[in-house]
Amino acid sequence: MRAASSNRSSDRRGRSRHNERSAEDRPTTLKLRNPHTILAALAVRPEDFTEIRVARQGDHSGSWLEVIQTAEEVGISIEVGAADSQSAQGRSYVGEADVKARETVSISEMFSDPQVGDVWLGLDGVQDSRNIGAIARTAQFFGIRGIVLTRDRTAPITSISHDVAAGGLEVIQISQPPNLSKALSEIQSLGIWIVGTADDAEESLESLKPDRPWMILVGNEEKGLRRLTRDACDLMVNIPSGNQFVSSLNVSVAAGIAISTLKL
């Protein structure tokens, strides 16, 4: 049986403030510097590009040469020498592209027509933009149908997220509902079974089978899943460890292990 949530209503205090803040934090334009990310975006949404700049004159090779050639084929001009050769963090790079941020989708659109073996991923308060990118890259690699991120607690999907995802965030569906507990209830009503991950869960991840549509939930890097999120899950599982010296995993690694368990 499904586990019933102990409190289906959200905490309304400060909700408007959270929503306004998250709306302001979400970037409208991304500055991409990973050529693989840029190539992925050029393949699926070239109309969203504003400009591509390369940092130095001369011959370009490898992925950046492919970026230049692809951009020219679709009519996007390349500004040579118009980009700094180093970022604010001192990292060198060849070029960059300005591209419009992708639109998110609704819960009903993301979870339409669920099939046995389909898997989605939910992030409850994951804060690090690089973790979000790494998770999205793994999710796309394994063919996950979509990712749900809450707007009130999750770091926005940034340019860094896109570059770390190496193209994964260019095609996978993203939904950002304002309240995760309410969204989980709607997701379950659409026929999806929700499994949460936690170190103290009694059941093992190895017990899961791809015998129904699943949504995997992973939590904040430090605190894990919130209580209301756990209460909304149909099942809680742990990732079994063979070494007690290291008792936890990075959230992106944990997400990858959980995904592969259901998709391989």
Domain ranges of the chain: 29-100, 103-263
CA angle 149, 157, 257 (to 5 degrees): 60
Pairing of strands 49-54, 78-80: parallel
Q: Which CATH class is domain 103-263?
A: alpha beta
pLDDT number for residue 15 = 37
Which helix H or strand E contains 42, and what residues bound it? helix 35-44
Pairing of strands 214-219, 193-197: parallel
What is d(CA 191, CA 129) in angstroms, rounded to the nearest whole number?
30
pLDDT tens-digit series, residues 195-221:
999 989 999 999 999 999 999 999 999
Does residue 19 contact residue 178 with C-beta atoms inside 8 Å? Answer: yes
pTM greater than 0.85: no
pLDDT tens-digit series, residues 45-81:
999 999 999 876 555 668 888 999 999 999 998 888 7
pLDDT tens-digit series, residues 181-195:
899 999 999 999 999
pLDDT number for residue 30 = 95
Is the pLDDT at 4 greater than 50? The verdict is no
Is the pLDDT at 41 greater than 90? The verdict is yes
Helix (H, G, I), strand (E, B) or coil at 235: strand
User: Do 29-100 and 103-263 have matching folds?
Assistant: no
pLDDT number for residue 17 = 38
Q: Please state which CATH number belongs to domain 29-100.
A: 3.30.1330.30
Tell which wins on pLDDT, 133 or 245.
133
- % of the chain exceeding 90 in pLDDT: 65
First to last CA, the chain: 26
Is the pLDDT at 130 greater than 90? The verdict is yes
What mean pLDDT is predicted for residues 155-178?
92
- Average pLDDT over the chain reads 84
